Amino acid sequence: MKRLVCIFLSCLCANAWALDAITLEKQYVSQANQASSVARGDKFFQAKHGKDWSCASCHKSPPTTDGQHASTNKTIAPLAPAFNAKRFTDEAKVNKWFKRNCHDVLGRECTSLEKADVMAYLNSLKK
């Protein structure tokens, strides 16, 4: 019995920790209750939304190579997960930056559907 509980717990923890870009896209899709779209995500990523910057201003288009911060000029590693294994593995980091960057680009938080679309677009970029 004790062993079963341990196996159960380790599965739970493994699931909670093993975040990846595909899982994240699925989470946003289920929150949005609507299918994601690569084309919509692509458009959203390149476009300005009433402010000075688009996502591509810092992350480049396509975001498969190093980007550069639009105001500090600091180098930003590729955002597309196929080109940067560290991307979308840390939920706290993902939440922090979606929040901050959506505010910078849209003046509000991104909706679940916008995040699902961005993830669909990023996941579609392959080597």
The amino acid at 53 = W
**Least distance (Å) from ligand HEC to the CB of residue 77?**
5
- Least CB distance to ligand HEC at residue 32 (A): 15
* Residue 58 C-beta: closest distance to ligand HEC, Å: 3
**What is the rounded distance in angstroms from the CA atom of residue 104 to the CA atom of residue 126?**
27
Query: Does residue 121 interact with ligand HEC by CB under 6 A?
Result: no
Phi first, then psi: give them for residue 61, nearest 5 degrees: -130, 115
Using the rule CB under 6 A, which residue among 27, 53, 60, 66 binds ligand HEC?
53
Amino acid letter, residue 97: W
Q: Based on CB atoms, which residue is closest to ligand HEC, 7 or 100? A: 100
CA distance 103 to 1: 49
Nearer to ligand HEC, 10 or 31 (CB): 31
Q: Which lies closer to ligand HEC via its Cβ, residue 8 or residue 108?
A: 108
- Of 98, 92, 120, 97, the C-alpha closest to 111 is 98
Using alpha carbons, select from 30, 60, 36 the residue that is nearest to residue 46: 60
Q: What does the binding site for ligand HEC look like in residue numbers (CB under 6 A)? A: 53, 55, 57-59, 69-70, 76-77, 87-88, 93-94, 97-98, 101-102, 104-105, 118
